[in-house]
């Protein structure tokens, strides 16, 4: 069982994504913006964070940077559109994966399993 944080401003995505992960017996928390995510990461340990890139108020890149400064947690970046050069940049900065929306559940499950085994 993994402790997972999903950060996305689209409530429907968070609900569907968390329901699927909970069916796999994972503990899931949701943050609908970057500020909520930073509070949650301070309060709790997570095995992996799924972080949307484009969000209002605080963009995913800023949340990513701050999280990396706070704790060494694996972060998978999610986006509806992420050019190849940006994807390489995000991986170079320490993301464990770049996932394109709509999300591939097989890849998500594989990633969570890899994180749990390490």
pLDDT value at residue 83: 78
φ, ψ at 56 (rounded to 5°) = -75, 165
Domains of the chain (ranges; CATH) run 3-117 (3.40.50.2300)
Edge-to-edge strand list for the sheet holding 27-31: 27-31, 3-7, 48-52, 75-79, 97-100
Q: What is the pLDDT of residues 61-116, one digit of tens each?
A: 899 999 999 989 999 999 887 777 878 888 888 999 999 888 888 899 999 999 88
DSSP, residue by residue, 8-27: -S-HHHHHHHHHHHHHTT-E
Q: What are the residues facing 50 on neighbouring strands?
A: 6, 76
Tell me if the pTM is above 0.85: yes
């Amino acid at each position: 069982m993994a402790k997972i944080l999903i950060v996305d401003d689209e409530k429907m995505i968070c609900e569907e994504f968390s329901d699927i992960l909970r069916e796999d017996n994972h503990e899931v928390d949701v943050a609908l913006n970057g500020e909520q995510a930073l509070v949650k990461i301070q309060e709790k340990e997570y095995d992996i964070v799924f972080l949307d890139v484009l969000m209002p108020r605080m963009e995913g890149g800023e949340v990513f940077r701050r999280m990396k400064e706070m704790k060494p947690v694996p972060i998978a970046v999610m986006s509806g559109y992420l050019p190849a050069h940006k994807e390489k940049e995000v991986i170079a900065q320490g993301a464990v994966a770049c996932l394109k929306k709509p999300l591939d559940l097989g890849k998500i499950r594989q990633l969570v399993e890899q994180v749990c085994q390490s």
